Structure 1
Amino acid sequence: MIEGIYQFLDDVFGPFMMNYHPLWVITLMGFIIGGFYTLLYYFFTDIEKQKKLQKLAKEVQKEMREAQKSGDEKKLRKAQQKQLELMKMQSELMKQQMVPMFLTMPIFWIFFSWLRRWYTEVAIAKAPFNFFLFDWFHSMYHSALSGSELGYFGWYILSSYVIGMVLRKLLDMG
C-alpha cells in the first residue's frame, strides 16, 4: 500500500523534483505541507477561545504573584482556584488541538519517508561555516553531510516554519 502512495507522489511531484534544484523542491514542499498543517490547525481549533485563555492565564499569573508578594492567604486561594479553572479550560482546548495533530501525523511520516528516498545524503543548503548543531545532528544519524551542510529535513523545517509563521500572522492566530 505504501508503495502505491509513493508511486502517486512520484507521479505528481517527480517531474518537478527531477527538473529543479533540491533547494526549490524542498522549499515548495515545506510551503505546501506547512501551509496545509497551519490551515488544518486553524479550522479545527477555536482561535478566539485560545486567545482568551492566553489573556486569562496572564491575568491569573499576575494575581498569583501579587498574592504571594502580599502574603494574603485569601487572595492566594482565590488565585489558585482561578488557576484550577484555567487548567480545566486549557485541557479542553488541548483536546481540540489533538485532532489536527492526529490527522497530520500519518501525512508527515509518509511524506518524509518518501522524501528520504530522493534526498537521503543530499546537501540542500550550505553555510559558509560549520554550525555545531548541524554537525551534532549529522553525527547522531551517521550522515555523510558536514557541519556546514543542511539536509532535506532541516531545510524543510526552516521553510515550513517560515510559511507557518506568515500564515499564522495573516490569519491572526496569535
Structure 2
Amino acid sequence: MIEGIYQFLDNLFGGYIAQHPLLAITIAGFIIGGSYTLIYYFFTDIEKTRKMQKMAKELQMELKEAQEKGDEKKLRKVQQKQMELMKMQSEIMQQQMVPMLLTMPIFWIFFGWLRRWYVEVAIVKAPFNFFLFDWFHSMYHSALGPDELGYLGWYILSSYIIGMVLRKFLDMG
C-alpha cells in the first residue's frame, strides 16, 4: 500500500524529484506545514487557548506579587487559580491530540518518500560552514559537509515558514 502512495507521489511530482530537489522538498514542506496549520486551526479552540495564555500571564504576575509581599492568603488563591488553569491546559492538550493524530500519517508518508529520494543529497549549500550543520551531520554520520543542508533540514525550514505565515494570516497568535 505504501509503495502505491510513493508511486503516486513520484507521478505527481514528475521530473521535479530528480531535476529540482529543492523545489520538490519545498513543495512537500509547504503541503505538510500548511495542512498541519489548517487542521490545527479547524480542530482547536483558538479563543480558549488565548484565554488560557492570558490567564497564565496574569497568574504569574499575581504569584510574583504575592511572593514579594509574603501574602499567604493571596498565595493560596493563586494556587487555586493555577489548578483551574491546569484543568484548562489539559482540555486544550486533548484538543491538540486530534490534529497531531491526523497529521502524523501525512508527515510519515512524505518523510519516507523524501528519504527514499534524498538520503545523502545536499539540497542547499551555505556560503559558509555552519557549526550546527556540522554537529548534526557528525551525529548521524552523514556524508554531507558543514556547509550543506540535506532534505530533512530544508523540509523543516520550509514547513516552519509556511506554518508561521498561515498562523499570522489566520490570526492564530
TM-score w.r.t. length of structure 2: 0.96
1:3 counterpart residue number: 3
Q: Distance in 1 between matches of 2:2 and 2:158?
A: 26
Q: Describe how 1:14-163 pairs up with structure 2 within 5 A.
A: 14-19=14-19, 21-163=20-162
Q: Which amino acid aligns with 1:91?
A: S
TM-score, normalisation: structure 1:
0.95
Please, which runs of 5 or more residues in structure 1 have no aligned partner? none
**Paired residue total:** 173
1:17-58 Cα deviation digits (max 9, x unpaired): 244x21122112111111111001100100011011100110
**Runs of 4+ in structure 1 displaced over 4 angstroms?**
none
Amino acid at match of 1:13: F
Measured in 2, the distance between the counterparts of 1:102 and 1:29 equals: 19
* Identity %, equivalent residues: 79
Q: Aligned equivalents of 2:146 and 2:18: distance in 1?
A: 26
> What is the 5 A alignment of 1:159-174?
159-174=158-173
CA distance in 2, matches of 1:85, 1:130: 49
In 2, the alpha carbon distance for the partners of 1:48 and 1:24 equals 36
Question: What is the Cα-based RMSD across aligned positions, in Å?
Answer: 1.1
Between 112-121 and 145-154, the greater mean CA deviation after superposition: 112-121
The question of whether the paired residues in 1 share the 8 Å contact of 2:16 and 2:23 is answered with no
Gaps (5+ residues) in structure 2? none
CA contact (8 A) 2:134 2:147 kept: yes
1:119-157 deviation digits (Å, cap 9, x = unpaired): 111111111111111111111222110011000110011
